[in-house]
Amino acid sequence: MQPQAEFYIERLGLSVHPEGGYFKEIYRALESINETCLPVRYKESRNFSTSIYFLLEGEQTSQFHKLASDELWHFYDGSSVNIFLIDNTGELSIITLGRNITQGEKFQCIIPAGCWFGAELVDKKFFALVGCTVAPGFNFSDFVLSDKKGLIKEYPQHEALINRLNRGK
């Protein structure tokens, strides 16, 4: 493991994330929104907002998944990160999160609700530490981890990318 990645994992108390990488929730708003005031895709109330640290290291990937809420990614340290989004029409877009803004990298990006997305490091010999903010707040009942075969069947034009991010899953 890369020493700086190990430092962040230990210092920030990160745990293994089901989609790949490591995470720790660092904020959950105390106030919530009643489900009757939310779109029908939410089955229960949600905190106003939540936030996590998220770390990828080396060959780790964030497996394709989707959320019921918008998610804002913030870059903190390490390698740039390619985030791959597949919208409901099958169109692929790539956002590079990082500090090299003269090369088109972004410090922050928005992942729209309901969009399949996954991520990998640009430099696989390094790590990346990012933050992810979700509003309305994250709930695991809103988290859909992709089934590789199902996602390939739905978007065969992206089979190579899906196989790369969803290794063995």
- Please report, for the chain, the start and end positions of each structural domain, with discontinuous segments joined by +: 3-165
| Whole-angstrom distance, CA of residue 87 vs CA of residue 135 | 19
Give me the mean pLDDT over the 113-120 stretch. Answer: 97
Label residue 2 by pLDDT band (50, 70, 90): confident
Which CATH code fits 3-165? 2.60.120.10
Per-residue pLDDT tens over the stretch 77-110: 999 999 999 999 999 999 999 999 999 999 999 9
What pLDDT does residue 167 have? 73
Dump the DSSP string for 10-77: HHHT-EE-TTSSEEEEEEE-S-EE-GGGS-TT-SS-EES-EEEEEEEETT-EEEEEE-SSEEEEEEEE
Per-residue pLDDT tens over the stretch 6-49: 999 999 999 999 888 999 999 999 999 999 999 999 999 999 99
Question: What is the DSSP-derived secondary structure letter of residue 156?
Answer: G
What pLDDT does residue 53 have? 98
Q: Name which residue leads in pLDDT, 48 or 169.
A: 48
Per-residue pLDDT tens over the stretch 122-156: 999 999 999 999 999 999 999 999 999 999 999 99
- Considering only CA atoms, which of 128, 117, 123 is closest in space to residue 88? 117
What pLDDT does residue 168 have? 62
- Report how far apart, in Å, the C-alpha atoms of 113 and of each of 73, 109, 144 are: 13, 13, 11
Token digits of residue 148: 């590789």
What pLDDT does residue 82 have? 98
What is the three-class DSSP state of 122? Answer: coil
